[in-house]
Structure formats: structure tokens, C-alpha cells
């Protein structure tokens, strides 16, 4: 609720249903659920392909290869055709997140980059703790590899750590792999493996409880989470100044509130000169520094245009284009 709805929520459900079906051997059902993931987010085509390959390898069923082909096909179709067609610039805007040519030209340097940031190790260690290490015994754990791979090879450091929603799709995979590993361990010929869950399950539970206060879910126990923002009324005052049908440039925080009545541009894109521009000094979209003078910022961003300040209060500035 604090960071707005993301389509990845749908992927969590589909992954859970697909992986549950895989564990109990209902492969056709697993393929049906997994196949729908390609319609959630383009990068999930890689996850679908991984699920297909695990089905083909573990269960020796050709349907897994068909699923893998489906995932790769939709990935290519999405980034090469569908998304560029929907983009006013006629391109896939995230293609620069991974420098494929640079990786091919300098594979050693690419490997060094992959293993160079502490945030990546934090993500991996949290996964290992959450799964009690035992989940690695299941082939289902391999389904996490594509997501971790594209995140860690990317030059965008936002992808590396455990924050935001980027690790959400990993959790159904991790716990399904843990359940699968416990099930197979109980049927192992090795005595210590048969009793592994007696140690791992309590350990995972304790780790989860200890980590919970530092995770977003722990904020549910903080009464401040449920208090209305002191800037709520001011934000609506700002938006009330903007006539319906106007063009407005703003950050992520106010975008969903403005979209129903106005044409909204995100400030991180190359946009045409908007009729209105909102500067919010608490919106992370601006990065580490926020413009102190909204008019100067607007006129610098859009040379040749003139703007005037029409509202300034509580960290908000609203400027309007003149003429």
C-alpha cells in the first residue's frame, strides 16, 4: 500500500500454483499456470523457460521443452515487438539495463562486476537463511537463477539488494524448493538427511522471526504505518489546481492519483513540455537532490518555455506553463 500495486503480485500467485502442481506431479496443470506468467512481466519469460527445463530434466517429459520454448518466445516477442509498439519512442526502454555487448567483449570483467557489490551478497545470504540452505537440494531452486542473473548483471544497483519487489518472485520458488527438498530428504537412504527437516524447519522459522522487524512486513506492527500522511491534504490541494485534461510531469508518488483526470509524464523520461510540473521534495523519483526552485528547473529542462509558480506549500511546488 505504501509503494503502490505492482503486477508482480499476480506472478507470485501463478508461481505458487505452478510449483505446487510440479511437486505433486500434475505437470499439465503446472504448465498451464506457469504459461500464464509471460503475460505478467516480460522478464518472467526466462522464469517460465527455467520451469520448463526443470520439468523436462526432472520428469523426463517433453512438455517441459514446449513450455521453455513458450517462455523464450514470449520474452523475445515482448521486448522486440509488443513493448516497442506500445512505446511512443518505438523502443524497449529497459534494453540499456544490461550491457550485453560489453559482457561479450569483456567476460572476465563481467564476472567481476557480478560478484563485486555487497548488496548482491546480502540478497543471496537472505535467500540462504530463508531456505535453511536445504532448498538447494531441490532442482526447483534452479528456477531462481534467471531472475538473480538478470538482476546481478545489470548496471542498475536498485536491482541488486533485497529491497522493493524484485525478490518477490523468488519467494514462492524458494519455499516450494524447500518443501520439495524436505520431501525427498525424508525418503533418502542417509539417516541425517531423513531428519534434516527437524533442524531446518525450526531454524527457518527462527530466522524469519528474527529478520521480520527489519523487513517491510514488520511495519504492520508500527502504528505510524496506519496514520494518514501529514502531507495528504496538501497533496490534494496541489492536484486540485490542475484542470482535467491537462498534461503534468511528476514523480512516481502522485502519478496514480493524477492519471484518471490528466495526461501524466514521469519526470525520468524525455517528455514534451508539460502544462504543469510538480516538484515534491519527498518523492524519491528525483534522486538524492530535489530542485529548490521549480520554475528555474522547468525552464532549464524545457528551454524556450516560460513557467510560473502557482502553488508552494509543505514541500510541494506546482508550476504552470505560460502561453
Segment 124-135 shows an average pLDDT of 94
28 lies in some domain? yes
147 & 213 share domain: yes
Q: What is the pTM of this model?
A: 0.84
Segment 24-43 shows an average pLDDT of 97
Percent of the chain clearing pLDDT 70 (strictly above)? 99
158 lies in some domain? yes
Q: Among residues 199, 227, 255, which one ends one of the domains?
A: 227
Segment 179-192 shows an average pLDDT of 87
Integer angstrom CA distances of residue 43 from 69, 99, 115, 293: 14, 16, 22, 39
40 & 55 share domain: yes
Percent of the chain clearing pLDDT 90 (strictly above)? 69
153 lies in some domain? yes
Residue/partner pairs of 74-82 with CB below 8 Å, 24 or more apart? 74/38, 74/39, 74/42, 74/45, 74/48, 75/38, 75/42, 75/43, 75/45, 75/46, 75/49, 76/45, 78/38, 78/42, 78/45, 79/42
Residue 32 CA, chain-centre distance (Å), reads: 23
187 lies in some domain? yes
106 lies in some domain? no
130 lies in some domain? yes
Residue 57 has a pLDDT of 96
175 lies in some domain? yes
For the chain, the domain total comes to 3
Place 2 in a pLDDT band, splitting at 50, 70 and 90.
low
To the nearest whole number, what is the mean pLDDT of the chain?
Answer: 92
Is residue 58 over pLDDT 90? yes
Whole domain around residue 281: which residue ranges?
Answer: 232-321
Segment 175-202 shows an average pLDDT of 87
110 lies in some domain? no
Q: Among residues 227, 259, 281, which one ends one of the domains?
A: 227
Amino acid at each position: 500500500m505504501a509503494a503502490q500495486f505492482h503486477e508482480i503480485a499476480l506472478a507470485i500467485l501463478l508461481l505458487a500454483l505452478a510449483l505446487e502442481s510440479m511437486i505433486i506431479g500434475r505437470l499439465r496443470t503446472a504448465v498451464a499456470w506457469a504459461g500464464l506468467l509471460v503475460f505478467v512481466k516480460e522478464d518472467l519469460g526466462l522464469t517460465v523457460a527455467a520451469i520448463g527445463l526443470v520439468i523436462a530434466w526432472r520428469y523426463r517429459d517433453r512438455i517441459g521443452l514446449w513450455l521453455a520454448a513458450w517462455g523464450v518466445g514470449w520474452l523475445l516477442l515482448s521486448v522486440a515487438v509488443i513493448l516497442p509498439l506500445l512505446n511512443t519512442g518505438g523502443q524497449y526502454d529497459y534494453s540499456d539495463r544490461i550491457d550485453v555487448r560489453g559482457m561479450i567483449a569483456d567476460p572476465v570483467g563481467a564476472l567481476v562486476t557480478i560478484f563485486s557489490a555487497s548488496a548482491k551478497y546480502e540478497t543471496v545470504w537472505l535467500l540462504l537463511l530463508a531456505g535453511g540452505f536445504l532448498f538447494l537440494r531441490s532442482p526447483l531452486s534452479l528456477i531462481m537463477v534467471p531472475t538473480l542473473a538478470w538482476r546481478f548483471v545489470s548496471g542498475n544497483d536498485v536491482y541488486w539488494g533485497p529491497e522493493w519487489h524484485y525478490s518477490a518472485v523468488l519467494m514462492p520458488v524458494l519455499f516450494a524448493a524447500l518443501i520439495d527438498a524436505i520431501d525427498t530428504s525424508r525418503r533418502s537412504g542417509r539417516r541425517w538427511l531423513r531428519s534434516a527437516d527437524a533442524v531446518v524447519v525450526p531454524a527457518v522459522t527462527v530466522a524469519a522471526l528474527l529478520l521480520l522487524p527489519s523487513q517491510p512486513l514488520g511495519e504492520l506492527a508500527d502504528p505510524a504505518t496506519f496514520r494518514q500522511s501529514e502531507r495528504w491534504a496538501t497533496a490534494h490541494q496541489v492536484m486540485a489546481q490542475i484542470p482535467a485534461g491537462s498534461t503534468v510531469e511528476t514523480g512516481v508518488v502522485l502519478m496514480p492519483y493524477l492519471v484518471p483526470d490528466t495526461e501524466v509524464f514521469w519526470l525520468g523520461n524525455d517528455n514534451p513540455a508539460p502544462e504543469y510540473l510538480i516538484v515534491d521534495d519527498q518523492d524519491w523519483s528525483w534522486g538524492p537532490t530535489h530542485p529548490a526552485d521549480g520554475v528555474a528547473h522547468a525552464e532549464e529542462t524545457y528551454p524556450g518555455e516560460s513557467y510560473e509558480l502557482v502553488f508552494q506549500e509543505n514541500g510541494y511546488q506546482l508550476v504552470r506553463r505560460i502561453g
